[in-house]
Chain A
Amino acid sequence: MSTVAPTARSIATQVVAGKLAPDQAVREAFARGDAAGVGAGGLNALLWTDRTRATEQARERVVGDDTQVDRGLLAGVPIAVKDNIATLELPTSCGSRILEGYVSPFEATAVTRLRAAGATVVGKTNMDEFAMGSSTENSAFGPARNPIDPSRVPGGSSGGSAAVVAAGMVPIALGSETGGSVRQPAAFCGIVGVKPTYGRVSRYGLVAFASSLDQIGVFGRTVDDAALGLQVIAGRDVMDSTSASVPVARYADARDASLTGVVIGRPREYFPESLDARIREKCERAIELLRERGAEIRDVSLPHTDLAIPVYYIVAPAEASSNLARFDGVRYGLRVPAPGLVATYEATRSRGFGPEVTRRILLGTYVLSAGYYDAYYRKAQQVRSLIADDFRSVFASGVHVLLTPTTPTTAFPFGAKADPYEMYLSDIFTATANLAGVPGMSLPVGRIEGLPVGAQLLAGHFDEARMFAVAYALENALGEEAHR
Chain B
Amino acid sequence: MSVNVSDVLHVAKLARLGVSEERLPQLVAQLNGILEHMDVLGKVDTTGVAATEGVGAAGTPLREDGGEPVPLAHPIESFAPATRDGFLIVPRLATHDDAAEETA
Contact = CB atoms under 8 A, between A and B. Distances in A.
Q: Do chains A and B touch in the complex (CB under 8 A)?
A: yes
Interface in A287-329: 304, 306-307, 309-311, 313-314, 321, 325, 328-329
B72 A105 contact: yes
Contact of B18 (A349, A384, A421): A349
Q: Binding site of B, secondary structure by majority: helix, strand, loop or mixed? A: loop
B11 interface: yes
B31 A341 contact: no
B90 A341 contact: yes
Contact of A366 (B31, B46, B53, B81): B31
Contact of A421 (B33, B55, B82): B33
Contacts of B51: 378, 381-382, 384-385
A40 interface: no
Contacts of B18: 343, 346-347, 349-350
A345 B79 contact: no
Contacts of A325: 15-16
A307 B41 contact: yes
Contacts of A376: 38, 41
Contacts of B14: 365, 369
Interface residues of A, number: 74
A340 B55 contact: no
A365 B38 contact: no
B97 to A, nearest CB: 9
Given A307-B41, A383-B44, A420 B33 contact: yes
A49 interface: no
Contacts of B12: 362
A306 B46 CA distance: 16
Contact of B31 (A241, A363, A385): A363
Given A105-B74, A362-B12, A381-B52, A330 B33 contact: no
Contacts of A346: 16-18
B51 to A, nearest CB: 4
Interface stretch (A274-282, A353-361, A442-450): A353-361
B49 A385 contact: yes
Contacts of A365: 11, 14-15
Given A345-B16, A363-B34, A385-B51, A307 B91 contact: no
A310 B1 CA distance: 13
Interface stretch (A16-24, A263-271, A331-339, A390-398): A331-339
Contacts of A338: 91
A130 to B, nearest CB: 14
B46 A331 contact: no
Given A344-B91, A346-B18, A366-B7, A106 B37 contact: no
Interface string B56-91: 100011010000001111111011111000001011
B92 A341 contact: yes
Nearest to A322: B15
B15 to A, nearest CB: 4
A102 interface: yes
A104 B61 CA distance: 26
Nearest to A387: B52
B91 to A, nearest CB: 5
Nearest to B92: A341
A330 B1 CA distance: 36
B93 A313 contact: no
Interface in A424-455: 424, 435, 437
Given A106-B72, A313-B37, A365-B11, A383 B81 contact: no
Contacts of A330: 80-81, 88, 90
B88 A103 contact: no
Contact of B55 (A242, A311, A342, A372): A242
20 contacts: A103-B79, A105-B72, A105-B79, A242-B56, A309-B37, A329-B81, A332-B79, A341-B92, A349-B18, A350-B17, A350-B20, A359-B31, A366-B11, A379-B42, A380-B38, A381-B52, A383-B44, A385-B50, A420-B30, A437-B55
Ranked nearest first, the 9 interchain pairs of A and B with the lowest CB-CB distance are A346-B18, A381-B51, A350-B18, A335-B81, A382-B46, A105-B72, A345-B16, A105-B73, A332-B79
